[in-house]
């Protein structure tokens, strides 16, 4: 814990699921953490449940809203004095079906949240703190950004863009700032229930390691990438999929 005491993180989309577990693990390791999420009440409950008085705060708002992004960054600096880590976890998947039939308005919104908002959060963290002091960016992508998948193509393309952005920012922001990503398979959260809840045993059968992922699988990798043990890693994407993509097409 002493290695991380006083260090400050922003985790977007963290009132539940993967984002909440990342925030929780960071707090357990001594970080001061700002959680974000759309719902004020659920966010307040998430912050309270961390039981870390003075080391956790929440700022409610939409991940792709520019005023929310700016006010969050300023609030974190005012409260904690730095932004050492940004985890771009917020993401949506409102579009289902083949690319030839998807709604373009919903598709644009997917890209606004899944890729462009992450870029803006990164710009702010860099401008306000990391350009001068250094830091770490971790993007939560998906294995759908690495290969084709049925009916979630828009989501996959947005995550492929996030993986490409991770490489580009790793190239541009070194040596002061490291930028990496994680690419999970199906993680057992409310966000991904539609992918497994009616057919879990059959879904699991495709995974060489014999189970679906849980939020802790992602949080552990994020903590590693944020640590000094990963100090010579940048621009990379760690695949967290229980071996699923070893077989190719999803």
Selecting among 80, 96, 128, 155, the annotated active-site residue is: 155
pLDDT at position 173, please?
98
pLDDT at position 2, please?
47
35 by DSSP, 3-state: which? strand
Query: Residue 199 pLDDT > 80, yes or no?
Result: yes
Report d(CA 234, CA 20) in Å as an integer: 24
Weakest mean pLDDT among 2-6, 91-95, 116-120, 156-160: 2-6
Query: Residue 1 pLDDT > 50, yes or no?
Result: no
In this predicted model, what pLDDT tens digit does every residue of 4-46 receive, in sequence order? 788 999 999 999 999 999 999 999 999 999 999 999 999 999 9
Instruction: Please answer whether residues 142 and 161 qualify as being in contact, where contact means their C-beta atoms are separated by less than 8 angstroms.
Output: no
Q: In the chain, what's the furthest Cα-to-Cα distance? A: 53
Catalytic residue status for 155: yes
Report d(CA 114, CA 111) in Å as an integer: 5
Report DSSP letters for 46-63, one per residue. HHHHTT-TTTEEEEES-T
In this predicted model, what pLDDT tens digit does every residue of 209-222 receive, in sequence order? 999 999 999 999 99
What average pLDDT score do residues 190-205 get? 80
Instruction: Go through the domains of the chain in sequence order and give each one's CATH number.
Output: 8-247 (3.40.50.720)
Instruction: Please answer whether residues 208 and 243 qualify as being in contact, where contact means their C-beta atoms are separated by less than 8 angstroms.
Output: yes
In this predicted model, what pLDDT tens digit does every residue of 224-233 receive, in sequence order? 999 999 999 9
Query: Residue 133 pLDDT > 80, yes or no?
Result: yes
Backbone φ and ψ of 211, nearest 5°:
-160, 165
């Amino acid at each position: 814990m002493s290695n991380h005491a006083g260090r400050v993180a922003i985790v977007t989309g963290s009132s539940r699921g993967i984002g909440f577990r990342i925030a929780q693990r960071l707090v357990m390791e001594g970080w001061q953490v700002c959680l974000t999420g759309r719902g004020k009440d659920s966010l307040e409950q998430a912050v309270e449940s961390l039981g870390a008085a003075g080391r956790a705060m929440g700022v409610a708002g939409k991940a792709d809203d520019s005023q929310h992004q700016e006010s969050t960054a300023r609030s974190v600096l005012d409260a904690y004095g730095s932004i050492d880590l940004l985890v771009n976890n917020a993401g949506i998947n409102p579009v289902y079906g083949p690319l030839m039939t998807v709604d373009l308005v919903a598709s644009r919104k997917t890209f606004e949240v899944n890729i462009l908002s992450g870029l803006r959060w990164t710009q702010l963290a860099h401008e306000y703190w990391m350009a001068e002091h250094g830091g770490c960016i971790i993007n939560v992508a998906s294995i759908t950004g690495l290969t084709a998948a049925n009916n979630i193509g828009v989501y996959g393309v947005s995550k492929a863009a996030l993986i490409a952005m991770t490489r580009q920012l790793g190239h541009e922001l070194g040596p002061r700032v490291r930028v990496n990503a994680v690419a999970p398979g199906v993680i057992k959260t409310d966000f991904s229930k539609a992918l497994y809840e009616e057919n879990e045993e059959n879904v699991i059968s495709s995974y060489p390691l014999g189970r679906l992922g849980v939020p802790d699988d992602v949080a552990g990798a994020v903590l590693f990438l944020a640590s000094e043990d990963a100090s010579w890693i940048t621009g990379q994407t760690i695949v967290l999929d229980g071996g699923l993509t070893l077989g190719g097409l999803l």
